[in-house]
Amino acid sequence: MVFNTGAALLDAIVLAVVSRDTAGTYGYKITQEIRTVIALSESTLYPVLRRLQKDDCLEVYDKEYAGRNRRYYRITEHGRAQLNLYRTEWMQYSGKITKLFDGTGAKVAGGGEE
C-alpha cells in the first residue's frame, strides 16, 4: 500500500481486531488478522500493544498454551470508548476523502489557477 499508516490509525486497527474476541487474543493472531488488510510486522505491532496497555485501552494476561505462557490482550471499557471515537472519526474522514476522489466533494469558490 502506498499510504502511510500513522499511529492513531494503527491504534484504531488493533483495538478493532482485539475487540472482536471478548476473551482476548494474542499478538501473533492479531498480526495475522491485520495482515489480511495491510502490511504489518510484529516489530511494529508490539509497541502499539504496549502503548494501548499504558493508555488503559488494553488489559494483558498470560495463559498457558502447549506448555508455555501466551500473552493475551483484551479491550477495556476505556478502549471501547476510544475505538468508538476512532470509528466515528474514520467514517467522517474517509467519507470526505472518498468524495474528493469521486469528484463529488465541495469545490472552493475562486479556487482556479491565476
Query: Given this model, what pLDDT does residue 3 score?
Result: 78
Query: Given this model, what pLDDT does residue 1 score?
Result: 64
Domain boundaries, the chain: 7-98
Query: Given this model, what pLDDT does residue 8 score?
Result: 94
Q: How many residues does the chain have?
A: 114
Q: How much helix, strand and coil, in percent to the nearest 5, is found in the chain?
A: 55, 15, 30
* Dist CA 106 CA 22 (whole Å): 41
Cell of 100: 474528493
* Dist CA 47 CA 84 (whole Å): 22
The per-residue pLDDT string of the chain (114 residues; one tens digit each, 9 = 90 and over) reads: 677 889 999 999 999 999 999 999 999 999 999 999 999 988 999 999 999 999 999 999 999 989 999 999 999 999 999 999 999 999 999 999 999 999 987 776 665 555
The CATH topology of domain 7-98 is: Arc Repressor Mutant, subunit A (1.10.10)
Query: Given this model, what pLDDT does residue 112 score?
Result: 56
